[in-house]
Structure 1
Amino acid sequence: MEKAKVYFTDMRVHPGTNLPEKLKKLIKRAGIGEIDFEKKMTAIKIHFGEPGNLSFLRPNYAKAVADVVKEFGGRPFLTDCNTLYVGRRKDALEHLSAAYENGFNILSTGCHIIIGDGLKGTDDVSVPVKGGTLVKEAKIGRAVMDADVFISLSHFKGHEMAGFGGCFKNIGMGCGSRAGKMEQHNSGKPSVDPDLCVGCRICAKNCAHGAISFTEKKAVIDHSKCVGCGRCLGACNQDAVYNENSSAVQELNIKMAEYTKAVLDGRPSFHINLVIDVSPYCDCHAENDVPIIPDVGMFASFDPVALDQACVDACNAQQPLKGSMLDDNMHAEGFCDHHDHFVNTTPESEWETCLSHAVELGLGTREYELIEVK
């Protein structure tokens, strides 16, 4: 396979221009205009940020991408799917409130916001994964799959399990419904916390497999009958249904790659990573630590594998920022150098498996040509 083209621009601007305009120039140079956007509904997948976290991408960047899509005749909307964990984005009402609180709305971005998996995270579709080893059918938010064109706009930063959160994390995990996220994080079999369960029986009403019974007015899930559809998780208003076991990091990475395959297959797609405010943890945290490295720039490509590889390479070429978590770890007694900034930040994390498996799935190549846009 020949090298993929990855386009890059730094964060320097001069009087008379600005960063949103520079982002527009980058994605046009990278060939986004080759996509037929005319009257096409275009999903722009972005993370709206957990309230309290201030390292998420500003709405201005989303508007720049939406403006370009509209310039080419497309009908863009911003989207993300509800979270599995209990936070401010676990259902569409709270998710939209969080997005508004963080500055995302039709005035600031020039397009609507649609939560991809619906009100309670149960509005999904089963999408076959061609070549999938751990996932045969991915549970993807319906609005994501209904779009004619798909664009990922990702904040490239650290992640406590996947090493870094970039294109694949944004797409694979981000586009999974709550049940899809559960499948990626574990075996797909939820359990019930009896201390939170109030015995309302709404979970049982939503279970099509008779897997839920009640003991002393508390729900109990029979894993031999449960198929992991996640309907009970979405139905519970008490957050009593939860994931019992977490998958190994390598298994999580494989599943993320396979979910990304499900999202991208069969339609035009384009991918953008902004390597700025590179926090050690995901934007799902309700806080953000200081960046581990300086801002690098903006990257764009049709190839999601090459894009993430180029970004991680660029990050590893940077000097750690003094006083960051990475710097602290590197000066700690007994430090073991993994020669990778993200693994040195969170030694239990791992990211190689995701990109390697993505290549096996035919999603792209790790070999790239970096083209700088001034």
Structure 2
Amino acid sequence: MRPVYIRQVIKTLKAAGAFPFLTDANTLYAGARGDAPHHLVTAIQNGFAFSVIDAPMIIADGLRGRTETAVTINQKQFKKVYIGTEIVNADALVSVAHFKGHELSGYGGAIKNIGMGCASRRGKMDQHSDVAPKVKKKKCIGCGECVLHCSQKAIRLVEQKADIDPKKCIGCGECIIVCANEAVQIQWNQSVPVFLERMVEYAAGVLSSKTGKSLFINFINNVSPGCDCLPFNDASLVRDIGVVASTDPVAIDQASVDLVNREPAVGYTCLTTNTGPGEDKFRGVYPNIDWEHQLVYAENLGLGSRTYDLISID
């Protein structure tokens, strides 16, 4: 996401009389966004400084990710969800998401941006708690790539085979991505649907205090196959498509998926199947992930509708 794009959003909001600020919640894993000081420095280093975007930045869940507000939702997976307090306190919410593929949810758009992005560290752990990867020893060649990329130091080599400590693992899924031999896997049919439902319920918790006060913007450019949190990525799956906006998080994500899938794939990427127009690009990259489940569940929860009208603006 380029800062100049955000500046235009800020400019429009100010023209409407708002006093906007940028926000994000700290990450579950240790790293450049694991606490507020490092998070703010990372934002500035990537161009999200006040002098560029003309708005301040506030880390929603405080210094160490513990400034949270419990929001009662009484849903299937959670009775309460834990949201960064400053997001709960905000008068309104504008979600600006980079639409892309994702190694756990199939794709990442508006729902993931608010469901995961607005959760406190405790909330992120709640969502990931069932996503426990396992190592298939017969496939593991002991290369150590997963060890090098594990932010929690939860993986070690034992007799030249990767071994994951479940007490340290936070379920971020990075080891799954870096394993070239597909030796690190999760229980897709059991873990992923639960993860998606938890993420959607967190989105519902965020939006429960923002009825009629939310806007969602998806940038469908550089549609990378993996999460932006990863320190590496592949080329875009399809050409740059543009920007979509809606007051409905379900409709905007459904439209974004449809726009990507109707495009032919760009060549020479990790996408080697489902490359034609109309074919499911996200299933092509992640055949075991039913990304549609998050949209079905979100619609059933009343977050929005998968039916939409797409209006082009020149």
User: Could you state the TM-score of these two structures normalised by the residue count of structure 2?
Assistant: 0.79
Shift of 1:288: 2.4
- In 2, the alpha carbon distance for the partners of 1:315 and 1:339 equals 9
Note closer, same or farther for the CA distance 1:271–1:350 as it changes in structure 2 (3 Å cut): same
Q: Which residue of 2 aligns with 1:294?
A: 239
Aligned with 1:305: secondary structure?
helix
Q: Which residue of 1 aligns with 2:65?
A: 121
Match of 2:107 among 142, 145, 164: 164
- In 2, the alpha carbon distance for the partners of 1:288 and 1:104 equals 21
Q: Is the Cα contact below 8 Å between 1:161 and 1:348 reproduced in 2?
A: no
Taking the TM superposition and a 5 Å limit, the aligned residue runs for 1:259-270 are 259-267=202-210, 268-270=213-215
Structure 1: stretches of 5+ with no match in the other structure: 1-56, 190-194, 198-239, 332-337
Q: Is the Cα contact below 8 Å between 1:80 and 1:114 reproduced in 2?
A: yes
Shift of 1:353: 1.2
Runs of 4+, deviation exceeding 4 Å: 244-247
Say what the alpha-carbon RMSD is for the aligned residues: 2.5
Higher relative contact order (CA 8 A, sep 6+): 1
Taking the TM superposition and a 5 Å limit, the aligned residue runs for 1:38-117 are 57-117=1-61
Which protein is bigger by CA-based radius of gyration?
1
Note closer, same or farther for the CA distance 1:196–1:166 as it changes in structure 2 (3 Å cut): closer
Shift of 1:343: 1.5
Q: Which residue of 1 aligns with 2:170?
A: 243
- In 2, the alpha carbon distance for the partners of 1:244 and 1:345 equals 20
Letter in 1 for 2:170: N
Note closer, same or farther for the CA distance 1:242–1:118 as it changes in structure 2 (3 Å cut): farther
- In 2, the alpha carbon distance for the partners of 1:138 and 1:275 equals 29
Aligned with 1:93: secondary structure?
helix
Shift of 1:127: 0.6
Q: How many matched pairs?
A: 265
Taking the TM superposition and a 5 Å limit, the aligned residue runs for 1:173-322 are 173-186=116-129, 242-243=169-170, 248-267=191-210, 268-322=213-267
Corresponding position: 1:349 with 2:289: yes
Q: Is the Cα contact below 8 Å between 1:182 and 1:188 reproduced in 2?
A: no
- In 2, the alpha carbon distance for the partners of 1:168 and 1:297 equals 19
Structure 2: stretches of 5+ with no match in the other structure: 133-151, 155-166, 173-185
Shift of 1:101: 1.2
Aligned with 1:354: secondary structure?
helix
For each residue in 1:285-316, what CA deviation from the matched residue of structure 2 results, as whole angstroms up to 9, or x when unmatched?
11221101111110000111000000000000
